[in-house]
Amino acid sequence: MSISSKTIQGFILGNQEAIGEVYDEYKNLMYFVIASYISLPEDCEDVLSESFIKAINSRSNIKDPSNLKTYLTAIARNQALDFLKKKREIANSEVIDEMYGETDQYNVMLNMLEPLLTNKETIVTYYKAVFQYTWPEIVELTGIKESTARKLYAEALEKLRKELR
């Protein structure tokens, strides 16, 4: 599924149906971003909820509706980092900046892949290529059938090959 500009506008205006559609489309990607920082699934779920509530509450700040995906992943990342600060798993913000700052390789790659791949392709590609998970692990993490995950990965690689030519 792809989010229409009408749905994005509805989200910005606070339409409940549009908010639900946006959540359904981006929850897995947001969870993926959060899980790249936080290890416990229950903490990831909490941060996902907080992230989406924050996105809803600050939806009027979206200046360019075409950047909704970037906006939501940025909120997820920032909420994950805030969670780590609150849990004192990372002592101070300087350490966070070193670990997850502007040069964070995962976020740089996510920003590069964003315009090229679908949410599911991005998640499967990250798990396979970046984190080097096995297909059974990807199935367990995403709930996507292995054959579908393999197909998404192959399609993503083809898109990236075309882009790099």
Q: What does the domain layout of the chain look like in residue ranges?
A: 1-103, 116-165
Residue 74 is given by DSSP the state H
Helix (H, G, I), strand (E, B) or coil at 134: coil
CATH of range 116-165; options 1.10.540, 3.40.50, 3.40.1620, 1.10.10: 1.10.10
DSSP structural state of residue 90 = S
Evaluate whether 67 touches 26 at the Cβ level (below 8 Å). Answer: no
Beta-carbon count within 10 A of 61 CB: 9
- Name the CATH code of domain 1-103 (choices 3.40.50.1000, 3.40.50.2300, 1.10.1740.10, 3.60.150.10): 1.10.1740.10
pLDDT at 1 over 60: no
The contacts found for 142-145 with CB under 8 angstroms, 24 or more apart, are: 142/28, 144/120
Q: What is the pLDDT of residues 33-54, one digit of tens each?
A: 888 888 888 999 999 999 999 9
Q: Which of 138, 131, 165 is nearest to 152 (CA)?
A: 138
* Alpha-carbon dihedral sign for residues 134, 100, 87, 73: negative
Q: How many Å apart are CA 156 and CA 13, to the nearest integer?
A: 33
> Residues 108-132: pLDDT tens digits?
666 677 678 888 888 888 888 877 7
Overall pTM surpassing 0.75 (yes/no): no
pLDDT tens-digit readout, 5-35: 999 999 999 999 999 999 998 998 899 888 8
Half-sphere exposure of 13 (CA within 13 A, CB side): 9
